[in-house]
Structures are given as C-alpha cells and as structure tokens.
A and B are shown apart, each in its own frame.
Chain A
Amino acid sequence: MLAKYLFSTDHKVIGLLYGFTSQFFLLFGFALVLIIRWQLAYPSEPMPLVGGLFGEANAPGGVLLPDFYNQLGAMHGTIMVFLGVVPLAVGAFGNYLVPLQIGAPDMAFPRLNLLSYWFYFAGGVTMLASFFVPGGAAMSGWTSYAPLADFAPSGQTWWLVGMLLIIFSSLLGALNFIATIVQLRAPGMTWFRLPFFVWAQFITAFLLLLAFPALQAAAVLQAMDRLAGTSFFLPTGLFQAGLPIEAAGGGNALLWQHLFWFLGHPEVYVLILPAMGIVAEILANNTRKPLWGYRLMVYSIFVLGFLSFIVWAHHMFLTGMGTSISAFFQATTMIISIPSVIVLSSLALSLYGGSIRFNTPMLFALAFLPMFGLGGLTGLPLGLAATDIPLHDTNYVVGHFHYLVAPGTIFALFAGVYYWFPKITGRMLNEGLGKIHFVASLIAMNVIFFPMLIQGLAGVNRRLWDGGAIYSHAQPVVYLNVPMSVAAFALAAVQLVFLVNVVYSLVAGRVAGTNPWGSTTLEWATPTPPRAHGNFEHPPRAFRSPYEYSVPGVDGDFLPQGAGDERAPA
C-alpha cells in the first residue's frame, strides 16, 4: 500500500513526495537556526529544554561549543537551500504543476523522475547522517571554502557525497522538465501560451542543468584533496596549527570559489524564478486581469537566466582577484538587476486597475513584492566592489539574502500551497487561520531580518559564535540579537497555526470543487484531484493565452485556456 505511493511514477505522487520531504527539511533547517538564535541572544547560557539532547561532545551542559555552532551554521544553509527550498519550488511545485499546466499526461520520463526523487532522498539522508559521524557534520560554511574545508573532520566528506547525490538528482530532474516542456505541450499550447510559471520552471531547469555540474566537479576535486591527498585547493607554503602542511602544494584556493559560485549564483535564481512564477499565477488570478507585460516578463527571465552565468565572481571581490575582473563582474551584476526590476515592476503594474481579492494566497503573493524588492535593493551595495568589501561576510549579507529567500521565496511557496491545496486535496484551507499565519509570519520575519541589516552596517561578522558580544564595535547593536531571536521563536510558533490549518482543512475544510478560484490555466480543467496517470478526462487543448480574465463580452469574468470555441466572444 505504502509502496504504491513511494514507488509511483505518477508526477503528482512524486511531486507530493518531494513536497513532504522538502518541508520536513525546511522545518529541520529552521530548527537548526533556532539553536543558533538561542546562542546568539544568550551566549554561553545553557539552552533550556532541548540543550541536553545535543550530547556532551557538542553542548556540554546545554551550552553550545563553537565547533557545534559552526556545524549548525553550515548545515542550516545547506539544508535550507539544497534540501528545502529548491526541492519544494522545483521538485514539488514544478513536478505537480508543469505537466498539468501544459496539458500533458505526465513528465516525459516518469521513471527518471522517480529516480531523481530517490537520489534526492539519499542525499538528504547522507546530510542528516553526517551529524553522527566523528567530529560532527560539515562545519566550513554552506560554501565549504577551501582550504578550510580540506582539513575539516570527516563530516565534510559526507557533505561532499550528499551534494553529489543531490546534484545528480537535480540534473535528472532538470533534463526531465526541459524535455517535458518542449515535447509534451498539448495541441494549441504554443510557446507564448505557456503560463508564466512554466516559463519560470523552464529557465530554472536550464540553470540547474548547466550550473550544477561545476559544483559536481568541485566536489570531486575536494574529495580528491581530502581522500587522495592531492593539492588542488592547497597553495604552496600553507601552515596549519603552526606546522607546514604535508602536501605537494601548488593549488589554488580561488579555484574552489570559482567553481562553487559558478553554481552558486545561478542557484540564487533557481531559488527566485519559481517563486516569481507562482506569484505571477496568483496575481493574475486575484486581480482578475491578464498579467501586465507577459512577453516582456518572459524575455526578462531569459536574459536573467543567461546573465546569471556571468555574475558569479561578485561573491569574490574580497579575494583580491584583481581590479579588472572585479570591474567586469560589477558591470554584469548591475546589468542583471534590470531584468529583475522589469519582472517585479510588471507584477506590480499588473495590480493597477484590478479588482483585487485579498484571500490568503494573494496576501502572501502581495507581500512577496516589497519583501523581494527589499532583498534586491539591499543587494546593490554588495554588487559593487567598493561597498562590498566592508560589508562582506557581515550580517548585512545575511539579512540581504534572507529577505530574498525567506519573506521572498518562502512566502511565494506558502502562497502556492494555499492556492493549489484545493486542487490537490479537494478542500480549501481555512482563510481565518491562513490570515493569522500570514500576518504573524510577515511581522516575525521582518523583526528577524531587518536588524541584521543594521548589525551588518555596524560591522558585525556573520559567523560569530557569541553574536558579537566580545567586540567593542558591536556593542551598540548587540542588544538587537534578543528581539531577533524572540521573533525567530515566534515565527516557529506561528508555523504551528499553518500545520493545524492543514490538518483541520484536510478533515473539515470547505469542499472546493474543480475550480474554486475561477482560474484560467489548464490545471483547473482537471478533475479534483487530477486523475492518476493521465491527469485529464479528455485530451486537453489550449485555445488562447493563459490569463484571459475579464474578457469583454464573455459570460463570467474569465475564459479558461482549455475552453472550446463555444465560450469565446461572438
């Protein structure tokens, strides 16, 4: 019975498997950061209730040791990005929705799809297991910078193996998405009739396909350094603990950074593009208007995707790699903000003149716009070498990318959950609980992340075990750690409201019907839930562009993409 779901090749079941697993990892990664936040607010005080669970080697008497703190930091980043947000945005939402929205019976390669999930699962288990190996999990930051990571305890090797599994999973998934979108579009579903969400997944898949292999190569090289004694990332003349290291030397520490960020920067857009796609769907639906500048947005994310491959070294200004190369990467970084702004502006302009419905998915989608905007604007100083150098590795950076990913991407993902839950389960999520969840999350997230910008501008480094308590320059802002941590725990508590809502609505939620939001795209033309293996009752066909809302002369205020000529205006 269980095996039927665990080994189903149906894209919807695999999407749900991705959804459950990735949300587990999101909660797990969040739990890690709660431990960190306790330590930052109350350095060297034993953590109440759970402090004894971490073991004497990690937290004697419930007080975190610096090495364990480093493990938590590195694994929080790794888990949130590679095991939480991306698998949820791409593996879950993409898998479930892309075949439905293009009118396909399934993904192009269903068995490859299942294999991709199990590689992801194996990668996740490897990462979790690494906490229990001698010396603990990886502790060299989520970026695993060499040469530090070359000398880290064995958890780092597990991290590398876990990453290789996750990368392989992503590659299989990415080629499957591209093949599906290219090959399995229903009759009439021309390129410019694709919903924006599908476009976003299409570009995302290319980023995964072409950027991830660089980290694959880097992981192989680092594994060779650690296991076979090579010196790919070890320069000549390196000392460790006062002694010269025993290695041939002649390596290049910047090589790791090049390869890592060649993946790392496109990865940022992998986090953001599906979120933009979800927000676009929900905005169009709840403004009851076509998207403003649909084609412009599509062209913009093409440019965005392409440029994301040539901005990576803006993460490396501090390395002293050279002024001319810095100048080049500053220029491309400034240029890439243009398509981002076009997409965000188009989404904002889409609101103009709409009769907006403020339901829970719409609230999350609306909050995405200013929150993502704030994340983007705080990134500008980091894209210019002169301002990046003092801000590098401070809490300002942490605040900046969390604004993009937490109240940005994760809000969009919540919006998506509220929006598509009725299609998946047949029941609506409760609006009242949803609005509580939204408002409380919005406030908590801003209380957590805005003070990070302030602390960072004051020069507080992002990786301090005591949150800056012993540094004189941090004294004026160190008090902010307490409200930030309180808000973090409050944010955790608020997620309980969401969990209660899911359970309650599954049992007693309002029955949804096939198209509760009055939506136009093809996924709403399926029965609820869509048919196992095949999705549609009748072979679907696309007759028009995806967002035909409020068409003059049409009964009702929307014209479904798959509705035949009988509903078109005379």
Chain B
Amino acid sequence: MTDGAHDTTVEVRGYLAVLGALLLLTLITVGVSYLRLPEAPAVLVALTIALGKAALVAMFFMHLKSEKPMVFWPLGLTAVVFVALIAFALWTEADHLFGTRFTGAFGGVAP
C-alpha cells in the first residue's frame, strides 16, 4: 500500500450511480426526439437534459463539487464570456429569430 491509500468503495458506488443517471438521461433525450416536438420545446428539452448531464459529469466525475473557489473564478468568467459570445453574435440574426421585436428596444423606429 502507498501513502494516502484509502478505501474507495463508497466513492465508486457513487460513480456508478452517476453513470446510471447519465445513461438514463441519454435514453430519455433520444426518446423525446422521436416525439418530433415543435422546434422551441424540442430545443428546450434537449438542451436542458444536456446541461443536466454535463453538470453531473462536471460535479462528480470532474469532482467540481469538492473543488476550491480558485477554480470557480476562471470557470465562472468563462461561462459569462461564452454566453456573451453566443448571445451577442445571435443578436445580428434577431430579425430571423424574433421577428422585428428588438428593433424598437432602444427607441429606434421599426422600418
């Protein structure tokens, strides 16, 4: 045995539970996709499930759950910056996505 060796049975049992949840969520998201929901709810469901799965992997497999705040700062910043990129880039396509809802947002006059 080496220094710091300890019993990991409980830990491993937890990992197996997470793995089971991930596989179950995979089957659910595939199942929902066969329902051919309209676009908006389909996107919402699929991305929510994907976010849930990613959170499970990050929290347990990548053990962010027990990580130190020094890791959260850069990751939080990354998340914000990523959202800014996708949101503001999409804004240029706002006409396609939302009709002309945004043209008047800053007091402009819709054409």
Decide: B88 and A322 in contact? CB cutoff 8 A. Answer: no
- Give the distance in Å from the alpha carbon of A222 to the alpha carbon of B70 in the complex: 36
Decide: B88 and A313 in contact? CB cutoff 8 A. Answer: yes
A477 proximal to B (CB < 8 A): no
Q: A206-B74, A206-B77, A210-B81 are in contact. Are A255 and B89 (CB under 8 A)?
A: yes
B28 proximal to A (CB < 8 A): no
Decide: A324 and B84 in contact? CB cutoff 8 A. Answer: no
Decide: A324 and B94 in contact? CB cutoff 8 A. Answer: yes
Q: A214-B85, A322-B95, A325-B92 are in contact. List 13 more A-B contacts (CB 8 A).
A: A206-B74, A209-B74, A210-B77, A259-B89, A262-B89, A323-B103, A324-B102, A324-B103, A324-B106, A325-B94, A327-B108, A328-B106, A329-B88
Number of A residues near B (Cβ < 8 Å) is: 24
Decide: A321 and B92 in contact? CB cutoff 8 A. Answer: yes
Q: Which has the most chain A C-beta neighbours within 10 Å: B85, B102, B104, B108?
A: B85
Closest Cβ neighbor of B108 among chain A residues: A323
Interface size class of B (residues with CB under 8 A): 10 to 19
Q: A178-B74, A255-B89 are in contact. Are A310 and B84 (CB under 8 A)?
A: yes
Decide: B103 and A322 in contact? CB cutoff 8 A. Answer: yes
- Give 20 pairs: A residue, B residue, CB < 8 Å, sorted on A: A178-B74, A210-B78, A210-B81, A255-B89, A309-B84, A309-B85, A310-B88, A313-B88, A313-B92, A321-B92, A322-B92, A322-B94, A322-B102, A323-B106, A324-B91, A324-B103, A325-B88, A325-B92, A328-B91, A329-B88
A182 proximal to B (CB < 8 A): yes
- Residue positions of B touching A, CB distance < 8 A: 70, 74, 77-78, 81, 84-85, 88-89, 91-92, 94-95, 102-106, 108
Closest Cβ neighbor of B107 among chain A residues: A327
Decide: B91 and A325 in contact? CB cutoff 8 A. Answer: yes
Closest Cβ neighbor of B105 among chain A residues: A324
CB < 8 Å A-B pair total: 57
Q: Which residues of A contact B92 (CB under 8 A)?
A: 254, 258, 313, 321-322, 325
Decide: A182 and B88 in contact? CB cutoff 8 A. Answer: no
- Give the distance in Å from the alpha carbon of A79 to the alpha carbon of B4 in the complex: 51
Q: A211 to chain B: closest CB distance in Å? A: 8
Closest Cβ neighbor of A262 among chain B residues: B85
- Give the distance in Å from the alpha carbon of A322 to the alpha carbon of B106 in the complex: 11
- Give the distance in Å from the alpha carbon of A259 to the alpha carbon of B88 in the complex: 11
Q: Which has the most chain A C-beta neighbours within 10 Å: B78, B88, B104?
A: B88
